[in-house]
Amino acid sequence: MSRLALERVLQSQGFGTRRQCRQWILAGHVRVAGVPVDDPARIVDTQGLRFQVLDQEWTYREHVYLALNKPAGYECSRRPSHHPGVLGLLPEELRARGVQAVGRLDHDTTGLLLLSDDGAFIHAQTSPRRKVPKLYVATTHDPVTPELVATLLAGVRLHDEPEALAAVSCEPQGANRLGIVLQQGKYHQVKRMLAAAGNHCVALRRVAIGGLRLDALNLSEGNWCYLGESELALLAGA
């Protein structure tokens, strides 16, 4: 358990500089456990701390772990160049505390995206050594054939890759849909593998990372949620 001055609590949670947070408190805009607090130096326990700023409820989190159902047309970069950034779908308080995407999805790829301000978590999730399985559903231009599935499972050679890349699993989900699990996370990997196998990807959606499935989170496109211990355990067990 840590004990911090209230102004530092607000600063750590993305409410601005220490001076700005002090002004929020002095102006009477902050409540702790429903009780107004106007002393910026008030020491509070952060364990399970709940507070309100302008009547909006917040819970203190040392780090945040988020899942977003990414829509098409958004870039995962903190400095997007051609399309809006996914961080714009989050509250300003989360953006201010340095949340960033855990890996990237192409601007036209939809589905499950993790975000966090915990550098160790981001590194662990993106490290090639962990080989975190990710499930994608691809819509293909041409019909999915047994030959296509066999080729993807056997592995295809991509430009600039020293070795062939193979799907962990690959299952047809209709005439022109394919569920494919990958571990490597290479640039445009699903699209490039399908092209190398003689087909073409017209739409791509990520539906699971490790044991965490998007449908279990009940998120509509563009919405996000905090990940709790049970969801993080599904990722840790990958």
Distance (Å) of CA 214 to CA 119, 136, 146, 225, 229: 23, 11, 27, 11, 16
Is residue 126 a contact partner of residue 134, using CB atoms and an 8 Å limit?
no
Is residue 151 a contact partner of residue 140, using CB atoms and an 8 Å limit?
no
What value does the CA radius of gyration of the chain take, rounded to a whole number of Å? 21
Q: Which two tokens stand for residue 85?
A: 């950034």
Q: 159-167: list long-range contacts, CB under 8 Å, 24+ apart.
A: 159/192, 161/186, 165/189, 165/193, 167/193
> Within its chain, how far is the Cα of 101 from the centroid?
5
> Within its chain, how far is the Cα of 128 from the centroid?
17
Please tell me which residue in 39, 45, 55, 106 is annotated as part of the active site.
106
Residue 108 appears among annotated catalytic residues: no
Q: Which residues are catalytic?
A: 106
